[in-house]
Amino acid sequence: MQQIAVVSGKGGTGKTSLVAAFAGIAGSSVIADCDVDAANLHLVLRPTRERVTPEPFTSGFLAVLAEARCTGCGRCGPVCRFAAVLPGDGGKPAIDSLACEGCGACGDVCPEQALALTEKQAGMLFVSETKFGTLVRGKLGIAQASSGKLVNLVRSRAMEVAVQDRREIILIDGAPGIGCPVIATLSGVDAAVVVSEPTVSGHHDLERILALCRHFGRQAFVVINKWNINQEMAQEMEQVAVAQGAKLLGRIEFDPLFAQAVAAGKTILEQDADSIPARQVNQIWEKLTAGLKK
Ligand code: SF4
Ligand code: SF4
């Protein structure tokens, strides 16, 4: 089994479109959407059914009030350093679930044991069937910050499905940036495909993500997307990538067809298999899989 993560130094580089296209070419892989802060691969892969009931993802704790026990003495409010104890009905407190950090201080001072900690639901995990294989995705709740943990859960479910269904490939849509979720995405993968755009910030982001791949000993493969918007910069970035030990997979030219494909819930190959970008994506996949066999 091979695990291929598609990552980028920032969002909006075309990473998800490339993962969807790879999934279409591969045919029956397991696809893991680890961009848990903004999961949108399902919009293109369009799940046909849930394989299992969506599972709540818990992380951290939350104070819960047992109203019947509370006498409204008011001791809990002042000890909360996160301003999560608000005035509630009838002189009793109300817990702001978004602000509560689950420290337990309020419960410690409550003479009636009216405040207890419970596990906090931070998101949901979905395992769905799609036209190109099983899609595992996590969706982080509003203002939740446990994305690295949720990425690990998505990866581990994807691995279970791949073993169960004897799939050869796990395709991972990584989170943008170089933070905790990306580190969790890169852990244990066979290859990191870095998608970059030829801009000044894209150049900078490419160097940062390649440094991260090197640090974790992952083989990096580079794709320059929209290469024709700045050909000189594209060339410069490719030179930097090679100098940093990455392998070049190819270039994809800018084409509004990508946006049209996403809007139609299709991959670029479904949209127009004979188009130049579709053929470039195909060649990139062939080069990647050939490179992984070496
Ligand atoms: S658990 Fe901590 S953060 Fe949450 S309401 Fe109580 S004191 Fe505030
Ligand atoms: S400390 Fe306990 S009893 Fe007093 S107001 Fe808070 S929850 Fe109610």
Residue 109: give its domain's CATH number: 3.30.70.20
Judge contact between 7 and 195, C-beta under 8 A. Answer: yes
Lowest model confidence (mean pLDDT) among 44-48, 54-58, 119-123, 180-184: 180-184
Single residue among 121, 144, 169 that ends a domain in this structure: 121
Q: What distance in Å separates the CA atoms of residue 80 and residue 94, rounded to the nearest whole number? A: 12
Please state, as a whole number, how many other Cβ atoms lie within 10 Å of the Cβ of residue 243: 9
On whether both 114 and 15 belong to a single domain, the answer is no
Mean pLDDT (whole number) for 263-283: 94
Whether residue 202 lies inside any domain: the answer is yes
| Spatial CB neighbours of 54, under 8 Å, sequence gap ≥ 6 | 124, 125, 126
Mean pLDDT of the chain: 92
At 28, the pLDDT band (50, 70, 90 cuts) reads confident
Mean pLDDT (whole number) for 248-276: 93
* Structural domain that includes position 277: 2-46+131-293
pLDDT tens, position by position, 71-103: 999 999 999 999 999 999 999 999 999 899 999
In total, how many domains does the chain have?
2
Mean pLDDT (whole number) for 52-81: 95
Whether residue 223 lies inside any domain: the answer is yes
Query: Would you say the CB of residue 101 lies under 6 angstroms from ligand 1?
Result: yes
On whether both 37 and 176 belong to a single domain, the answer is yes
On whether both 274 and 215 belong to a single domain, the answer is yes
On whether both 99 and 154 belong to a single domain, the answer is no
On whether both 101 and 11 belong to a single domain, the answer is no
**130-163 burial by CB neighbour count: b if 16+ within 10 A, else e?**
bebbbbbbbbbbeebebbbbbbbbbbebbbebbe
Lowest model confidence (mean pLDDT) among 51-60, 71-80, 177-186: 177-186
Atom of ligand 1 nearest to the CA of 104: 1
Closest CA to 7 of 229, 182, 236: 182
On whether both 151 and 271 belong to a single domain, the answer is yes
List the beta bridge partners of residue 6: 173, 193
Whether the pLDDT of residue 147 is over 80: the answer is no
Whether residue 32 lies inside any domain: the answer is yes
Nearest residue (CA) to ligand 1, atom 8: 80
Q: How far is the CA of 64 from the centre of ligand 1 (A)?
A: 9
Q: Please tell me the predicted confidence (pLDDT) of residue 179.
A: 78
Mean pLDDT (whole number) for 265-279: 94
Residue 205: give its domain's CATH number: 3.40.50.300
On whether both 276 and 228 belong to a single domain, the answer is yes
pLDDT tens, position by position, 101-144: 999 999 999 999 999 999 998 889 999 999 999 999 998 887 67
Ligand 2 binding pocket (C-beta < 6 A) is 65, 70-76, 92-93, 110, 112, 114-115
Whether residue 55 lies inside any domain: the answer is no
Atom of ligand 2 nearest to the CA of 113: 2
At 294, the pLDDT band (50, 70, 90 cuts) reads low
Q: How far is the CA of 121 from the centre of ligand 2 (A)?
A: 24
On whether both 7 and 101 belong to a single domain, the answer is no
On whether both 167 and 228 belong to a single domain, the answer is yes
Mean pLDDT (whole number) for 58-83: 95
Mean pLDDT (whole number) for 154-158: 95
What single string gives the DSSP state of each residue in 116-138? Answer: EEEEEEEEEEEEEEETTEEEEEE
- Ranges assigned E (strand) in the chain: 2-8, 29-33, 49-50, 55-65, 85-87, 93-95, 115-130, 133-140, 169-176, 191-196, 220-225, 247-252
On whether both 279 and 225 belong to a single domain, the answer is yes
On whether both 237 and 105 belong to a single domain, the answer is no
Whether residue 51 lies inside any domain: the answer is no
On whether both 97 and 160 belong to a single domain, the answer is no
